[in-house]
Amino acid sequence: MKAVLFDLDGTLIDTAADFIRIIQNMCREENRAVVDAALIRTQVSEGARAMVKLVYPELEVDDPIFLAHRQRFLDLYGADIAVDTDLFEGMYPLLESLEAKHIPWGIVTNKPRDLSEALLKALNLTERCAVLVCPEDVSKTKPDPEPMYLAAKQLNIAPSEIIYVGDHPRDIDAGRNANMYTILAAYGYLPLPYKDDLTAWHADCIVNNVSELDQLLYTMTSQ
């Protein structure tokens, strides 16, 4: 294998703490019951709409009031994007290991580009990341393979020689649809409806922590 691509939230970077901070503060400001951190964590990969819905379950997602709350959430997040956010434990040496072997790594995410770029900048990863594909770059997002093909094209590496790591069924579907080797990051923000049967995702491999991922990537990129 010649390259490794990661999903962003819940796979490469542990962003949940900042989302939890903002959502729980919104609850307190509105005098609403504070949403449990564990529940917020399961919704991170579903995006801003799903997280804000935890605070305002009675509002329809197309309600102008809901949309205003969603925009406020995004504004708060963008203003303080990496207060408690960092790479998952063990991910720094994993990336260093890939770089030492001249294996390019990159990101394919459904997170908006402005937020993705701000996050990478805050963690000093911008120059190290070989490719970043966001929703604005494609006509169809994951689980469609289009963003995977675009990343492969930008790397100039065949999709079949690329590994994709993700923590959501759409990640695995996108990777499989592009004929990439898929790894399910079971340490990530597994969505509630899918977390009880990970084998049903049909990933090529499942890892339970970053250490297992590191060992697997070392082996696969050494062949």
Structure tokens at 24: 């729980």
H/E stretch holding 183 reads strand 181-185
Distance between CA 36 and CA 44 in Å, rounded?
13
> Which candidate, 147, 90, 86, places its Cα nearest to that of 113?
147
What b-and-e string marks burial along 80-114, b requiring 16 or more CB atoms within 10 Å of the CB?
ebbeebebbeebeebbeebeeeebbbbbbbbbbee
Structure tokens at 11: 């796979």
Distance between CA 113 and CA 110 in Å, rounded?
9
Cβ atoms < 10 Å from Cβ of 37: 14
The residues assigned a catalytic role are 7, 9
What b-and-e string marks burial along 171-184, b requiring 16 or more CB atoms within 10 Å of the CB?
bbbbbbbbbbbbbb
